[in-house]
Structure 1
Amino acid sequence: MRFILAPDSFKESMTAPEAVAAMERGIRAVFPDADCIRAPMADGGEGTTATLLGALGGTDVAVRVHDGLGRPIVARYGYVAAERLAIIEVAAAAGLDLIAADERDPLIASTYGVGEMISDALDHGAVRFVVGLGGSATNDGGAGMLHALGAQFLDASGVPLPPGGGALARLHRIDLAGFDLRVGAAAFQIAGDVTNPLLGPDGASVVFGPQKGADGHAVRELDAALGTYAGVVTATVGRDVATLAGAGAAGGLGAAFLAFFDVEMRSGVDVVMAAARLDEKLAGADYVFTGEGSVDSQTLRGKTPFGVAQAAGRHGVPVIAFAGRVSDAGVLHGHGFAALVPIVQAVSDLPTALAEGPVNLERAVATTCRLLALHEQRRM
């Protein structure tokens, strides 16, 4: 039997390659001679750089930048010198995982470090960029990134604003006189994992703000501040980004790319699937195993399992998704998933579930394969 193993990472539990290894162990416990094709995935968030570098070649570049709270860190991005291509994950500089849970505050968190990474890649000679949007701790509309590249965000008195999404409520003018001209000569492909707009009930603040530490009051404050920001952006560059699909990605960072960069917005998983040549690997496969930490209705907004299911569907290959948490199964079954399998086998606290993720995934895959074996026997 031929299995394609194409999961994303299981956040805070295992990387995509680790998930692939656990899946393979589970398969071989039942089908020792199975043909297991490894195809770790990503959708613009964690693991995007490593996955694309594995597919395209290139080097890992370390650069000193600032995290979402302005603290100095070392971030890494990929560089393919032959193509002058930089591969950047927003989460490497402005990631939620870089900030302790009790310190998370999207009112003050900034994407400044993302701009520092782009500037360093430009210094290396990059003229093409793939930027993975996902896993950010920020809700500043990309203002911090633009500031790192030379833009100034000023209040009505001409005073520069402090970092963070909350301060954008006082934004009056964006000064682009010092903006890095090299940005205009570079092409950016944005690998996003969501299609949410910037504002409103489906926007960056309402949908993702609570995950980043925003309570109800902060969510309303951030949404209003991004509304002010969107108005000033329109006055500055003549483009209304408030309702564009993907503008709400990474706390509105998508809006900054759409407004100020030569950009192509693509589903992050589509970018990775193309680089990994997943379509070629699907030919002749019996099953595809995918998954990530949580599978729910948000999965349909461009997450890895949905992208993999759509690709497999074009080849008529059944897809089974594994996750630490499964909800909205009735909705998902109508979108290409043959089965949705929760991997947690007993009631436990979150730290335990995360620590036991690889073992639980291996067991869940093995159990699923035993059921597949029964099915195959009955077909004979």
Structure 2
Amino acid sequence: MMEIVVAPDSLKGSMAASDAAAAIARGWSRVRPADSVRIFSMADGGEGTIDAIEAASLGRTARMPITVMGPDGRDVDTTWLLLDPKAPRRSVAVVELANTSGITLLDHPRPLDSHTYGFGQAISAALEYRPCELLLALGGSASTDGGHGALSALGASFVDAGGRNVGLGNAALARIAEIDVTNLRTIPAGTKVRILSDVMSPLLGPTGAAAAFGSQKGIEADGINDADHNLARLAAALQPSLPADPMQSGAGAAGGTGFAMIAWGASVTSGAAEIAAVTGLDAAIASADLVITGEGSYDPESENGKVAGHVRRLASAAQVPCALVAGSIPGAPAPGFFVRAVALSDLAGDVRSSMNDPERWLHVAGSLLAEEFAA
């Protein structure tokens, strides 16, 4: 009998991490029913982070409903998470950007005017409970606004040369002449704020928020430099009142929201590492015979703070083989990274077919891996 650990991320916009893990596990168990298969819902600060923390907290949580302004200005009914709600001074609040200002909330990309205002509204609501710790899950953003929207919702004022509010979105950053933080909400004494980041990129430059991730949010190739310059303008304008290093690791997370939150007073940590520790994945891997991880699309960025890369490193450190199941694999993983890499798009014939029925193809992938390892 083998002990298998299945720990994938969600397939963004297609299937939750818990459902993806269950489908892979069912596929494995169909071929090898006697094996022990343990399921872990993973996240890295992006979509599904609250779900993963809630699942690992054994009922000691409360979902807090809230209506916020979504990334395109429409209302979004969502929730944030409160851990240990009966012990306010020891409670932990978790606010997820993906479910307040995330790209899956858009009907179509709005690269230059989408924003993070709703994320700031949810943060403000969470602060009312004066938690001892506030976790900000950054990932899956719709915008590249540098967190300007979130700071606006927290009370900062961004005006142009004529004293008018510049508006929201990346394009608005080009008009910033002055920032007033007089009414910016401060972090309460006794509250620690940590960013759970899905990437460790800086805010600016060739590996920054615009250059590395802008195209994913709809910014055309000829607009990347302008978007980067707009972020630089925001960073320069913030320096007198909220000094922060735009080149710090994690500043580029969630379209640069990491930078705004760092400037506000938050520290940065790896979202994937935090979720792995909370769920007990680290310990489970140590006794496993095989680890299976996965995500929607495995590419070079997957090794830069994403779930698949982190789980692979945990398995490697424990000297346990690790297999990958991903919706698509645009480029082959580095030699030796995984004992086997399975792309659902290859199994289904193309990306669209795999996305139309991900549960089926995850089940097939689990069965395929079981057959290969049985042999």
Residue of structure 2 equivalent to 1:117 = 122
Unmatched 5+ residue regions in structure 2? none
The answer to whether 1:186 aligns with 2:191 is: yes
Counterparts of 1:16-55 in structure 2 under 5 Å? 16-55=17-56
Q: Normalized per residue, which structure has more helix? A: 1
Distance in 2, Cα, partners of 1:62 & 1:55: 20
Aligned residue pair count: 367
Amino acid at match of 1:32: P
Deviation at 1:157, TM superposition (A): 2.4
- The CA deviation at 1:221 is 1.8
- Work out the CA distance in 1 between the residues paired with 2:127 and 2:243: 26
What whole-Å deviation, never above 9, does each CA across 1:19-46 have from its counterpart, x for those lacking one?
Answer: 1111111111111111111111101101
Structure 1: gaps spanning 5 or more residues = 375-380
Q: Distance in 2 between the 1:73 and 1:328 partners?
A: 36
Counterpart position of 1:260: 264
Q: Is contact 1:91-1:135 (8 Å) kept?
A: yes
Matched-pair contact (CA < 8 Å) for 2:327–2:351: no
* Contact 2:67–2:77 (CA under 8 A) maintained in structure 1: yes
Provide the residue aligned with 2:107 in structure 1: 100
Q: 1:171 pairs with 168, 176, 180, which one?
A: 176
Shift in Å, 1:191: 0.8
Q: Secondary structure in 2 aligned to 1:223?
A: helix
SS of match in other structure, 2:166: coil
Residue of structure 1 in register with 2:217 after alignment: 212
Aligned twin of 2:163: 158
Q: Which position in structure 1 is the counterpart of 2:152?
A: 147
Match of 1:363 in 2: 364
Q: Deviations over 1:109-135 (max 9, x none)?
A: 111101110111112332411111111
Structure 2 CA distance for aligned equivalents of residues 362 and 84 of structure 1 = 38
Secondary structure class of the residue paired with 1:329: coil
User: Aligned partners of 2:286 and 2:213: how far apart in 1?
Assistant: 37
State the match for 1:79 in structure 2: 82
Structure 1: how far apart are the matches of 2:189 and 2:148?
17
Q: CA deviation at 1:327?
A: 3.0
CA offsets per residue over residues 289-341 of structure 1, 9 Å max, x none?
1101111111111110111111112211100010111133242x34x422211
Counterpart residue identity of residue 361, structure 2: N
Alpha-carbon separation, structure 1, partners of 2:48 and 2:120: 20
Aligned mates of 2:19, 2:219 — CA distance in 1: 31
Q: TM-score, normalised by structure 2?
A: 0.94
How big is the shift at 1:175?
Answer: 0.5
Give the 3-state SS of the residue equivalent to 1:180 in structure 2: coil
Do the aligned partners of 1:13 and 1:358 also contact (CA within 8 Å) in 2?
Answer: no
1:220 CA drift (Å)? 2.2
Q: CA deviation at 1:184?
A: 6.3
Q: 1:284 aligned to 2:287?
A: yes
Query: Match for 2:247: what amino acid?
Result: T
Given the two structures, how large is their TM-score scaled by the length of structure 1? 0.93
Percent identity, aligned pairs only? 35
> Which amino acid counterpart does residue 65 of structure 1 have in structure 2?
V
**What's the CA shift string for 1:259-313, capped at 9, x where partnerless?**
112x221111001001001122123211001101111111111110111111112
Contact 2:130 2:188 in 1 (8 A): no
Distance 1:27 1:20 in 2: 11
Corresponding residue for 1:89? 96
CA distance in 2 between counterparts of 1:238 and 1:269 reads 27
Distance in 1 (CA, whole Å) between partners of 2:50 and 2:142 is 18
Provide Cα deviations, 1:42-83, integer angstroms capped at 9, x if missing partner. Answer: 011011001111212311111011100111121111101233
1:372 alignment partner, SS class: helix
Query: 1:280, 1:342 → 2: CA distance?
Result: 27
Give the Å deviation of 1:155. 1.5
Alpha-carbon distance in structure 1 between the residues aligned to 2:135 and 2:225: 32
